[in-house]
Amino acid sequence: MGKARYRKGAHTVYDIKYHLVWVTKYRYRVLQGEIARRARDIIRDICMQHDVIILKGHVSRDHVHLLVSAPPRLSVSDMMQYIKGKSSRKLQEEYPTLGKRYWGQHLWARGYFCATSGTVTDEMIAAYIEHHEKPPDDVFTVSDEAQ
C-alpha cells in the first residue's frame, strides 16, 4: 500500500482501515455466478453511501473479505449492520431461490471478523509518546507546560 493516504473530513484527518470478513448462514455456498457479482455490486453501493472506500475485496462462495478505509464517525458495528442487513434483504428480494435456503430472512451468519490495519504500529506510537518529551516512568504523562 506504500505511503499513507490520509483522508479528510470537516474537522479530521484520518487513515482508518479495517479487514472485515463475514460468512453466509450455515456456510452454504450460495455466492456463485450472478449472485456473487450482484452481492459485490450491492456491497460497493452500500459502502459508497456511507463514505467507506473498498481498498480490496473478494466474494468467495460462502464468505466475503473486505479491506476498507472508513471515516471515524462510523463505527465498525454500524458499518457491518448496514452492509449485512441491506445486502441480505436486496439479494433475497432479487433472487427468490435464496429464500428456499434462508427461510428465516437471514443470508449472513451472526457476527463478523474485524482487524485494524494501518501504517503506524503500536510500537511506533509508544516510542513517539515515550520520546516526545523526557517523561517519568509512567505510561500516561503530562508535559511540563501543562502542569
User: Where are the chain's structural domains?
Assistant: 7-118
**Residue 110 contacts by C-beta under 8 Å, 6 or more apart in sequence?**
none
- pLDDT, residue 1, reads 42
Tell me the angle at which helices 76-94 and 33-49 cross, rounded to the nearest 10 degrees: 140
pLDDT by residue, tens only, the chain of 147 residues: 445 688 998 899 999 999 999 999 999 999 999 999 999 999 999 999 999 999 999 999 999 999 999 999 999 999 999 999 999 999 999 999 888 777 767 899 999 999 998 777 778 777 776 666 555 555 555 555 555
Question: What are the Cα distances from residue 52, in Å, to 26, 59, 134?
Answer: 28, 17, 39
Of the listed 28, 82, 95, 128, which one is catalytic?
Answer: 128
- pLDDT, residue 2, reads 46
Decide if 102 is catalytic: no
Q: Which three cell numbers stand for residue 93?
A: 428480494
* Sheet containing strand 113-117, strands side by side: 53-59, 63-69, 17-23, 113-117
- pLDDT, residue 4, reads 65
pLDDT in tens, 67-108: 999 999 999 999 999 999 999 999 999 999 888 777 767 899
- pLDDT, residue 68, reads 92
- pLDDT, residue 139, reads 59
- pLDDT, residue 118, reads 74
- pLDDT, residue 133, reads 56
**How many alpha carbons lie under 13 Å from residue 82 in its C-beta half-sphere?**
16
Helix (H, G, I), strand (E, B) or coil at 48: helix
Residue 77 sits at φ, ψ, to 5 deg, of: -65, -40
- pLDDT, residue 105, reads 77
Question: Which superfamily, per CATH, for 7-118?
Answer: Transposase IS200-like (3.30.70.1290)
